[in-house]
Structure 1
Amino acid sequence: MTKIIQISDTHIVPEGTLAYGQVDTAKALAETVATINRLLPQIGPVDLVIVTGDLTERGSEEEYGRFKALMADLDLPYRVLPGNHDRREPMRRSFADAHWMPRTGPLDWQIDLEDFAVIGLDSLTANAAHGTLEPATLSFLTDALAHLSGKPVLAGFHHPPFAVGIEAMDAQNLRNASSLGTALSRHTGQVLMVCGHLHRSIAGLFSGRLCQVCPGTSHAVTLDQRSNAGNSLTKEPGGLLLHEWRDGGFLSHLVPIGTYPGGYPFK
């Protein structure tokens, strides 16, 4: 049974600082790693962890170095994708030792697991908050789907392809989502899309396929659907998603980050 874990929006900042002057994102990532390691005997085996963007706050090599140091304790292999807070070339250099990191172009990759393939798509738009899938990324996706011949696919990227009613974030979603929908519509197998950016657990349909948004590891985008509400964070608990193939289909679990009392027998 194939299982992967998704985390997103770790927003690592230089040592001695807090994200937005409020959030210790490094502590939260360390707790995320500890949570995964602690849960593995209960949920394993797990094949892979994917990080769907915004690894860092400003895309500096110092921040990527700190991210990698925090992830070094993880008892699983992992792969990353860029978000709007990342920078492509510093990220590429920081992961130059990874065989799956492309040497040029968008940071797209693919891994074939037993029950489904995972396709990572680079949605970063340089110097902008919104997302775009470049022609090279769309070609990568189209070619990958053609070679998979109907095998189920989990497609990961950073920017959601739909609006969620948080006005300031909806302005930053995936601008050419229709091109993504067209590419996926040609695939005959099951597709699950997973993304981040919103720091909240949100599920919706896009182009007839399920898209699951992953919460952040340290803080949430405030759920405020009023017009002109602005953009802000709320110190809600972090979370991760466990995606698995079960009984012929995808299934996703929301898992809170941290240690909680239990389990107590039901009697």
Structure 2
Amino acid sequence: MPGFIQITDTHIVAPGALAYRRSDTADALRRAVSTINAKLPLLDGIDCVIVTGDLTDHGTPEEYAHFAAIMADLELPWQAVPGNHDRRDAMRAAFAPAPWIPGDGPIQWVRDFGPFSVIGLDTLLEGAHHGELSLDGVGFLEAALAAIGAQPVVIATHHPWMHSGIPAMDADNLHGGATLMARLEAHPGPVRMISGHVHRAVTGQIGRVTCQIAPATCHAVMTDHRVGCDPQLTFEPGGFTVYRWRIEPEPSLVSDTIPTGSFSGPWPFAD
């Protein structure tokens, strides 16, 4: 069955540096790549990795080169949409040979997986932490949805519109997302929206749209539901999310969040 892996918020900095003076994001991404490669023989039908933004921490050419060097060890092709820590021109210049990178404008694309499609949307508003979908993005979405008809669709963005319950993060989610959600509600097939930005695994339902936020490969944002508190990072196991199309008991997209790293086992339940 076809499927893909989502990683997000890798926040790669210059070689030898730490993000926020504490987080070794390069080592975390290397651990994620190693874990994905090790799991691939157990994961049937995975076609690619989709990176939902914040590939780098400052959007510099040096950081994108560092990201690309680590991802070169990945045993799958990958493609990405930008996040608020990315810079569109630098990202485009770094990955311009890739077929999914458009020559200009927002970095967005469509990938056909057979029974479903993924539409990657660019929600980067440079200079801001929150995200917005531009008029170009709305037009791209309209054309992509029209082209796939009633086929099930996954919308991949960096910024979620669903609130996570962490006020400090929810203030910087996707602004103006009601327009996007109204269009997704009108799609005749099943719809899922997958995002990053919050550095935690969070799932919710908005109307007909299943919304998922994936954990970061590196540090997490601490769960803190109190109003008025600044976001804080914490070191929890990084993770990635596997999505596979299943035909039983009914056709659907099933997700599984897997922590990165090596863990003891496996052993049989009964010796």
TM-score by length of 1: 0.98
Structure 1 segment 209-248 matched on structure 2, within 5 A: 209-247=209-247, 248=251
Helix, strand or coil for the counterpart of 1:226? coil
Structure 2 portions without partners, runs of 5+: none
Structure 1 moving runs of 4+ over 4 Å: none
Structure 1 segment 46-195 matched on structure 2, within 5 A: 46-195=46-195
Aligned counterpart for 1:250 among listed residues 230, 249, 253: 253
Helix, strand or coil for the counterpart of 2:215? coil
- How far, CA to CA, are the matches of 2:96 and 2:137 in structure 1? 19
CA RMSD of aligned residues (A): 0.8
Aligned residue number for residue 262 of structure 1: 265
Deviation sequence 1:211-256 (CA, Å, 0-9, x none): 1100000110110111212111010110000011112011110100
- How far, CA to CA, are the matches of 2:179 and 2:60 in structure 1? 31
- How far, CA to CA, are the matches of 2:152 and 2:172 in structure 1? 29
Give aligned pairs, total.
Answer: 267
* Bigger shift: residues 195-204 or 221-230: 221-230
Helix, strand or coil for the counterpart of 1:223? coil
Helix, strand or coil for the counterpart of 1:265? coil
Helix, strand or coil for the counterpart of 1:182? helix
User: CA shift at 1:91, angstroms?
Assistant: 0.5
- How far, CA to CA, are the matches of 2:185 and 2:86 in structure 1? 29
- How far, CA to CA, are the matches of 1:240 and 1:210 in structure 2? 18
- How far, CA to CA, are the matches of 2:243 and 2:68 in structure 1? 23
- 1:25 equivalent in alignment to 2:28: no
Alpha carbons 2:130, 2:171 under 8 Å: kept: yes
- How far, CA to CA, are the matches of 1:18 and 1:4 in structure 2? 29
User: CA shift at 1:182, angstroms?
Assistant: 1.7
- How far, CA to CA, are the matches of 2:38 and 2:164 in structure 1? 33
Aligned residue number for residue 5 of structure 1: 5
- How far, CA to CA, are the matches of 1:265 and 1:205 in structure 2? 36
- How far, CA to CA, are the matches of 2:185 and 2:229 in structure 1? 35
- How far, CA to CA, are the matches of 1:184 and 1:177 in structure 2? 11
Letter in 2 for 1:183: R
Helix, strand or coil for the counterpart of 1:11? coil
Structure 1 portions without partners, runs of 5+: none
User: CA shift at 1:45, angstroms?
Assistant: 2.6
TM-score by length of 2: 0.97
Alpha carbons 1:138, 1:183 under 8 Å: kept: no
User: CA shift at 1:44, angstroms?
Assistant: 2.6
- How far, CA to CA, are the matches of 1:142 and 1:206 in structure 2? 20
User: CA shift at 1:17, angstroms?
Assistant: 0.8
